């Protein structure tokens, strides 16, 4: 199941050093998730403490576990939006077949 998430980091009262250390932990976790095939695409929004990610999860439960506790910054993340998505070319094939 593919989902798109718009995630914002709430740094609270962190020092610059604390923020960089937290980001480094998050980068390492993202690299592992990418290697495991859970991350399909990920982007950092320039000039903001915001990340856009497409995840491939098995269930809503797995999505909840990842976003609520598995990430190093989980308690400092604000999930602005989560959307179920599908591959556009699969949709295009349905269009061509007229949903048959």
CATH number, position 60? 3.30.70.1060
Specify the pLDDT at position 13.
85
Specify the pLDDT at position 17.
94
Specify the pLDDT at position 11.
85
Domain count, the chain: 1
Helical residues (DSSP H) of 1-68, grouped into ranges: 16-35, 60-65
Nearest to 22, CA basis, from 32, 10, 33, 34: 10
Specify the pLDDT at position 2.
97
Q: Which residues of the chain are modeled with pLDDT < 50? A: none
Nearest to 76, CA basis, from 37, 33, 28, 21: 21
Specify the pLDDT at position 30.
93
Q: What range defines the domain where residue 30 resides? A: 2-97
pTM, full prediction: 0.86
């Amino acid at each position: 199941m593919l989902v798109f998430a718009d995630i914002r980091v709430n740094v609270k009262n962190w020092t610059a050093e604390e923020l960089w250390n937290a980001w480094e932990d998050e980068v390492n976790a993202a690299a592992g998730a990418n290697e495991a095939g859970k991350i399909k695409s990920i982007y950092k929004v320039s000039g903001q403490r915001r990340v856009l990610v497409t995840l491939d999860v098995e269930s809503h439960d797995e999505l909840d576990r990842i976003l609520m506790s598995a990430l190093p910054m989980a308690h400092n993340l604000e999930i602005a939006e989560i959307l179920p998505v599908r591959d556009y070319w699969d949709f295009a094939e349905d269009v061509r077949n007229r949903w048959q």
